[in-house]
Amino acid sequence: MLIAAGGVADGRGLAAALMLGADAVVVGTRLWASAEALTPKAHTDKAIAVTGDSTIQTKVLDALRGFPWPKEYSLRFLKNNLTDEWADREADAFRAFGTLSEKYAQARARNDLDTVAVICGEAVGLLKDRPGAESIVQSMAAQAADLLSKGSKLKFTSTS
């Protein structure tokens, strides 16, 4: 079984993954911004207002807050003051391991989104609202089915 992940937030992404041979998809950011998700509304509101170019993938967050996440994995989250200061300084962040853990915890308690990571993918650019998960899945499936049925009706002709 082949499962596609990354950037699948609507029926177009689902259809593309299926056309490329995937058997299923992982839908992260779109469901992260669903009505049922435990994601703070301030986080989804901020994500809805930006594009995928407003995200960054880095390991500095774990180092600075002292979280021993495996080094081969990183997080993607919205750019903010923390990333502006540290994103290009991963080695410095690892040398400073845990030094911002207390400050980060306080910022998290205040929901200070200039410091706290709003963890989400580049698919934030496709977010416009916070509907229910059932509605998201139904809409994705219907849009993908429509696109796939149109694609199956295409006729290709050889020019040689």
Work out the pLDDT band at 153, boundaries 50, 70, 90.
low
Residue 156 has pLDDT above 60, yes or no: no
pLDDT at 116: 93
Work out the pLDDT band at 70, boundaries 50, 70, 90.
confident
Residue 54 has pLDDT above 90, yes or no: yes
Question: Which two three-digit tokens encode residue 47?
Answer: 């994500």
Sequence-distant (6+) residues with CB within 8 A of 34 are 130, 131, 132, 133, 136
What are the extents of the domains in the chain? 1-35+131-152, 38-130
Residue 157 has pLDDT above 80, yes or no: no
